[in-house]
Structure 1
């Protein structure tokens, strides 16, 4: 059940005007980490983690050298149904009291198109670390469109969407398989 992931901004790594390396941090109010799974093939259920922090370091001249680090608070899980939140948070699945964080640390970036990249990294859930690939698309890089009207948005921003699929049992989460877990990330990050 997992990630960011990302947070989670490595798609910003894809080409863009600027001439130096910069650090971007997630804007919590404009970042989402959602996950979904099949419930015994009968329905699709979904949830999200509402607290995720990420840092992207990127030199637009060399996007494949970018790095992305994300930390998600597991107790911020929300499905919209309290008893399901409690069950996923319990020792049957995420064990949030024992494993309070999910992390992603990028290890490589492969540009796949003008605005796309595969960001490979180490995803740690439930104390287990496995490599995953985030398929990312940069949706914005540079001054925020609202920066001219709203002071909060002044400065440079990076935004991207990303997705990956994992097997939750490979991370020791759950005693039975619900099938693959799809993770979708959407984030805006502000230059520091």
Structure 2
């Protein structure tokens, strides 16, 4: 019995340490939010800055972890006046709450290259659970690395999508003229960090 328990502990430890650490490439990462505008069109914005890291391996998905932060002022709607409206206390209240964060609580493999990531999404002073459906596009050497040294090494490419209700994070102004449901889509390339 003791031998079996010891083996289980060793197995967990080995699984944990095999997860690679990946760092976001900010030049090839897009974080966008989409919403319905009064039933006439779908509008969107982009957060142009994001930072964070991911511990992930397809061989040990359940042991993975992600933590990301986004400066709210990196938001770009294409309309300067609208940017300031969203920064105001009516919506993000950027002077009081300058960042958005996501801290994963679980990873679950749901297909050969598909993962569900659940975690705590914090916007303003509200933290609620959100689940992202993630497609892993590719893992391995980046073909562009043959031409540019910054792309050498192992890379991970993913798309992550979730839908939230903005009113649950204290931003329900003008619902339903602007839809309560917000679709968040992240497309990212991440480079494996190699210990020195």
TM-score bin (small chain): 0.7 to 0.9
Query: Partners of 2:19 and 2:80 in 1: how far apart?
Result: 43
Partners of 1:118 and 1:142 lie apart in 2 by 21
Larger displacement relative to structure 2 (51-60 or 112-121): 51-60
- Cα deviation, residue 75, structure 1: 0.5
- Residue 163 (structure 2) pairs with residue 165 (structure 1): yes
Please report how far the alpha carbon of residue 182 of structure 1 lies from its aligned counterpart in structure 2 after TM superposition.
Answer: 0.6
Counterpart-to-counterpart distance in 2, 1:28 and 1:125:
21
The alpha-carbon deviation at position 132 of structure 1 amounts to 0.6
2:191 matched residue in structure 1: 190
Moved more, 160-169 or 54-63: 54-63
Contact 2:19 2:63 in 1 (8 A): no
Tell me the TM-score normalized by structure 2: 0.85
Q: How does 1:84-163 map to 2 (within 5 A)?
A: 84-163=82-161
Match of 1:56 in 2: 54
Q: Partners of 2:191 and 2:102 in 1: how far apart?
A: 19
CA distance in 2, matches of 1:117, 1:59: 11
Aligned residue pairs, count:
174
Q: Which residue of 1 aligns with 2:29?
A: 31
Distance 1:58 1:181 in 2: 27
- Structure 1 residue runs of 5 or longer lacking an equivalent are 1-18
Kindly report the root-mean-square deviation, in angstroms, between the aligned alpha carbons of the 2 structures.
1.3
Distance 1:152 1:129 in 2: 36
Looking at structure 2, the residues matched to 136 and 113 of structure 1 have their Cα atoms a distance apart, in angstroms, of 10
How far residue 63 of structure 1 moved from its aligned partner, in angstroms, is 1.3
CA displacement at 1:42 relative to structure 2: 2.2
CA distance in 2, matches of 1:79, 1:126: 19
| Larger-Rg structure | 2
**Greater per-residue helix proportion:** 2
Structure 2: runs of 5+ lacking an equivalent: 1-16
Q: How far apart in 2 are the matches of 1:175 and 1:47?
A: 17
2:76 alignment counterpart:
78
Q: Distance in 2 between matches of 1:34 and 1:42?
A: 19
Higher relative contact order (CA 8 A, sep 6+): 1
